Chains A and B, each alone.
Chain A
Amino acid sequence: MNTSNLQLNNTDAARHFSFKATVRDAGIGLALIGLIIIFSVSSEHFLAANNITNILTQITINLILAVGMTFVILIAGIDLSVGSVLAFAAVIAGKAITMPGLDPIAVIALAVMAAVLAGLVCGLLNGLISAYWGLPSFIITLGMLNIARGGALHISEAQTIYSFPKLFNDFGSATVLGVPVVFIVALSMVAIAWFILHKTVFGRMIYGIGNNEEAVRLAGHPVFWYKVAAFSICGLTAGVAAIVYMARLGISSPIAGIGFELNAIAAVIIGGTSLMGGRGSVFGTLLGACIIGVLANGLILIGLNDFLRQMITGLVIIIAVVLDYYRDKYTKN
């Protein structure tokens, strides 16, 4: 009976999915367009080509982290460790990339692998521990937040690591037709995540776990491993974000990424993904990250002071979530 329920839920979800998601994303898109109109009227610099390039560069790290965070929130989890894992991965990769006596290509390849692997391992541990013992991911990833931050400080001896190969730093500031290459990397990750979530059984079951974990289990799916995979993906994106951080700034700092987890969560939630799991999309996450980035940029361009800027950012997050509540209510009826 549970199995048939699940199938019913699935077809139900599939039928309504595209329509509901479209309305939802359109709503967030309208909010974004509204912000863009406000800022282009109030600042002459906002729509300038190089400012658009700047905004895209500035949202890249948050977008990459938020893509991974989307998987975790869809299964009704949370990952508070991504900012610290970013620093941990960056420090390990920083050690690799500054190893003397190797040619630039070799150390860059080594650093990229090291960062991705470090992120993956942290995510894997988050997933294994919280799924095996059925513990709240909130507290497990809070533990990982401290482990990774402490690890980053320990390995780097709290020193900023610098002097990276020129080729690597150039990658961080390269643009194609005004679009930052690092942003193209982030967009590809959005596309891959979209494909996984909507075109694979694993992706459908990620939604399923968020909606009704027991039903997915009874249908014979390895829920445990799907959960571990979701956290691993999130850790992996933190590793990729670490590489972007290093390439953009030319350093690895053990205090990098403090508070990044909250921005990533905000992007996911503004993008319409439910903290209760089972509902949302990675396309919404992209829009959510854009809203946060446009706000941070635009509020400085119009000359608003730091404290008011912080207040308005907070206000927008609340408004976005309240609007989403009404949109959801409307699309259900």
Chain B
Amino acid sequence: MNFLKKASLTLMASAVLLSGPAFAADKPVVGLIMKSLANEFFRDMLEGTKEHAKKNGTYELRAVGMQNETDFQSQINAVENFITQGVDIIVIAPADSRAMVRPLKKAMAAGVVVINFDVSLDAAAKKEQGVELAFIGPDNRDGARLAGEALAKNLGAGGKVVIIEGNPGADNAHERKKGFEDAIKSGGLVLLDSRTAHWETEEANNVFTNMLTANPDIQGVMAANDSMAIGVVKALESAGLAGKIKVVAFDNIPAVGPMLEDGRLLATVDQFGRDMAANSIELALEVLKGAPQLTGWVKTPLKLVVSDK
């Protein structure tokens, strides 16, 4: 939290620097390309960014979202439209970490400052196209490890756990599973089973109920997002085991608030999605002003939220 406060202070400071009168007449235009706005995470991010754009006042925001998580065709069109419109900055959460490299290279060639956030572009694809591009985003693996370690601390070595995975093939699902596995290894936990519930509550409820039937000795559950954790908690309630079998998750959506309060959910991870795009835009504006190009991985803050119970 402290880090975040400091970060926002620096952001505010740079906002003041940027809002000189010289820029008032000709504001830089920022094109923000997100993934599915059907996803609570991106929806919240859009709201946060709009708020930021209004408060900051030094840039003009043009935001677009996609139909679904994998609709990279629409993202390619969006990049091309932004190039045509002559935007100064493109901030993008790529729907496909390989396919988006080529259109973004085109944008950079046209003089647009490109910032890649949320999901990293594929390193090999970047190399092949000769593109140098920094990544701004959370370390999903590290976040999942934090949640997993909270569970390991609660259960102690030898605790038996299962993982509920996100969509197979999705980069963040993969990273979060890896992070859970890191915590299982370091905490000496025993992994009984690991299955996908495609990020969805009802499927998680069914899948976990059946996993519990097959493994009645489960002591802990690591769910790759909160929506699935809600389904797991409901299954535990039906089995009379809520609070007894410990659950950790990821995202910190409002709906898990009551579950954290009474201990049905042990912990979740907040990745401050609301501020993620806004933070990226701040960095991009500095580059546009002449600051050196960003390199490597600029990590955004993650915070473990643990139940008091």
Task: Give the residues in chain B near A162, CB-CB below 8 Å.
Answer: 230, 254-255, 258
Q: Is B85 in contact with chain A by the CB < 8 A criterion?
A: no
A249, B231: Cβ atoms closer than 8 Å = yes
> Which residues of B, 228-271, contact A by the 8 Å Cβ criterion?
230-231, 234, 237-239, 253-255, 258
Interface centre among B38, B193, B211 (most CB of A within 10 A): B38
Q: Is B274 in contact with chain A by the CB < 8 A criterion?
A: no
Q: Which residue of B lies closest to A146 (CB)?
A: B67
A250, B213: Cβ atoms closer than 8 Å = no
> Which residues of B, 202-218, contact A by the 8 Å Cβ criterion?
202, 205-207, 209-211, 213-214, 216
Q: Is A301 in contact with chain B by the CB < 8 A criterion?
A: yes
A250, B40: Cβ atoms closer than 8 Å = no
B210, A249: Cβ atoms closer than 8 Å = no
A51 to B210, CA, bound (A): 8
> Which residues of A, 225-258, contact B by the 8 Å Cβ criterion?
245, 248-251, 253-258
- Interface size in chain B (residues, C-beta < 8 A): 33
**Which of A159, A173, A248, A305 makes the CB contact (< 8 A) with B254?**
A159
B23-46 CB contact bits vs A (8 Å, 1 = yes)? 000000000000001111001000
Q: Is B142 in contact with chain A by the CB < 8 A criterion?
A: no
- Interface size in chain A (residues, C-beta < 8 A): 38
Task: Give the residues in chain B near A149, CB-CB below 8 Å.
Answer: 38
A300 to B208, CA, bound (A): 10
Task: Give the residues in chain A near B168, CB-CB below 8 Å.
Answer: 306-307
A70 CB, nearest partner CB in chain B, Å = 22
B213, A301: Cβ atoms closer than 8 Å = yes
B195, A251: Cβ atoms closer than 8 Å = no
**Which of B196, B213, B230 makes the CB contact (< 8 A) with A251?**
B230
Q: Is A297 in contact with chain B by the CB < 8 A criterion?
A: yes
Task: Give the residues in chain A near B238, CB-CB below 8 Å.
Answer: 57, 173
**Which of A255, A300, A307 makes the CB contact (< 8 A) with B210?**
A300
A303, B193: Cβ atoms closer than 8 Å = yes
**Which of A159, A254, A256, A303 makes the CB contact (< 8 A) with B202?**
A256
Taking A159-B254, A303-B193 as contacts, is the C-beta distance between A61 and B209 under 8 angstroms? no
A144 CB, nearest partner CB in chain B, Å = 16
Task: Give the residues in chain A near B231, CB-CB below 8 Å.
Answer: 249
Q: Is A296 in contact with chain B by the CB < 8 A criterion?
A: yes
B218 CB, nearest partner CB in chain A, Å = 13
Task: Give the residues in chain A near B227, CB-CB below 8 Å.
Answer: 160, 253, 255
Q: Is B71 in contact with chain A by the CB < 8 A criterion?
A: no
Q: Is B182 in contact with chain A by the CB < 8 A criterion?
A: no
A238 CB, nearest partner CB in chain B, Å = 14
Taking A153-B37, A158-B37 as contacts, is the C-beta distance between A301 and B210 under 8 angstroms? yes
B258, A163: Cβ atoms closer than 8 Å = yes
B18 CB, nearest partner CB in chain A, Å = 31
Taking A61-B202, A158-B40, A254-B38 as contacts, is the C-beta distance between A54 and B213 under 8 angstroms? yes
Task: Give the residues in chain A near B80, CB-CB below 8 Å.
Answer: none
Task: Give the residues in chain B near A249, CB-CB below 8 Å.
Answer: 201-202, 205, 230-231, 234
Task: Give the residues in chain B near A57, CB-CB below 8 Å.
Answer: 209, 238
B237, A173: Cβ atoms closer than 8 Å = yes
Task: Give the residues in chain A near B205, CB-CB below 8 Å.
Answer: 248-249
Taking A153-B37, A173-B238 as contacts, is the C-beta distance between A296 and B202 under 8 angstroms? no
Q: Is A285 in contact with chain B by the CB < 8 A criterion?
A: no
B195, A306: Cβ atoms closer than 8 Å = yes
A256, B40: Cβ atoms closer than 8 Å = no
22 residue pairs of the A-B complex, CB under 8 angstroms, read A43-B214, A45-B216, A48-B213, A50-B239, A54-B213, A57-B238, A58-B206, A61-B202, A158-B40, A160-B40, A162-B255, A173-B234, A249-B202, A249-B230, A249-B234, A253-B227, A256-B200, A256-B201, A300-B195, A300-B211, A306-B195, A306-B196
Q: Which 5 A/B pairs are nearest by Cβ-Cβ distance?
A: A158-B43, A300-B210, A160-B255, A162-B255, A301-B214
Q: Interface residues, chain B, CB within 8 Å of chain A?
A: 37-40, 43, 168, 193, 195-196, 199-202, 205-207, 209-211, 213-214, 216, 227, 230-231, 234, 237-239, 253-255, 258
Q: Interface residues, chain A, CB within 8 Å of chain B?
A: 43, 45, 48, 50-51, 54, 57-58, 61, 149, 153, 157-163, 173, 245, 248-251, 253-258, 296-297, 300-301, 303, 305-307
5 additional A-B residue pairs with CB within 8 Å, beyond A159-B255, A245-B202 = A153-B37, A159-B40, A159-B43, A160-B230, A255-B227
